Amino acid sequence: MKRLLIFAMMIASLATTVVGSAASFDVGASDLAAGDAVIAKCDPDGFDHSFTTSNGKVTNVTVTGIDSACVGGQLSVTIANSTGSSIGGGGPVAAGSPSTSVALSPQPNAAAVSVIHIVVVGP
């Protein structure tokens, strides 16, 4: 009985040491923040677009109506299907005025295209 009590105390002591070591493990601290800010648009009236197909696949999107304030920004295009899932995209490429063409990869089936998202970052 005495042996069993000593053995249980040793196990409890060992478990406390392991837990105590884990509790003092320093994983490093980093700052995390959230917020919001107004970001001015380089083209307040938006863009127009058209796309080129080959064998039923969208190969290229031409973005038109790009304001000169967007020139030099990085333009990207994302193609989405009816569920909102990305099925193709291209860029970033340097935005030019009045239009910029973006090659797509992968090239989605034209029939599956529901939405074209266009984003300019910068200049």
The reported pTM is 0.66
Domain count, the chain: 1
CA distance 46 to 69: 12
Residue 93 belongs to some domain of the structure? yes
pLDDT of 110 reads 95
Give the angle 66-67-69 at the CA atoms, nearest 5°: 125
List phi, psi (to 5°) of 29: -110, 140
Nearest Cα to 112, choosing from 70, 67, 51?
51
Residue 5 belongs to some domain of the structure? no
Structural domain that includes position 108: 49-121
pLDDT digits (tens, 9 = 90+) for 40-49: 788 888 899 9
For residues 80 and 86, the answer to whether their CB atoms sit within 8 Å is yes
pLDDT digits (tens, 9 = 90+) for 51-109: 999 999 999 999 999 999 999 999 999 999 999 999 999 999 999 989 999 999 999 99
If DSSP codes are grouped into helix, strand and coil, which group holds residue 9? helix
pLDDT digits (tens, 9 = 90+) for 13-41: 555 444 444 455 455 555 655 666 666 78
Residue 35 belongs to some domain of the structure? no
| CATH code assigned at 71 | 2.60.40
Residue 27 belongs to some domain of the structure? no
Residue 41 belongs to some domain of the structure? no
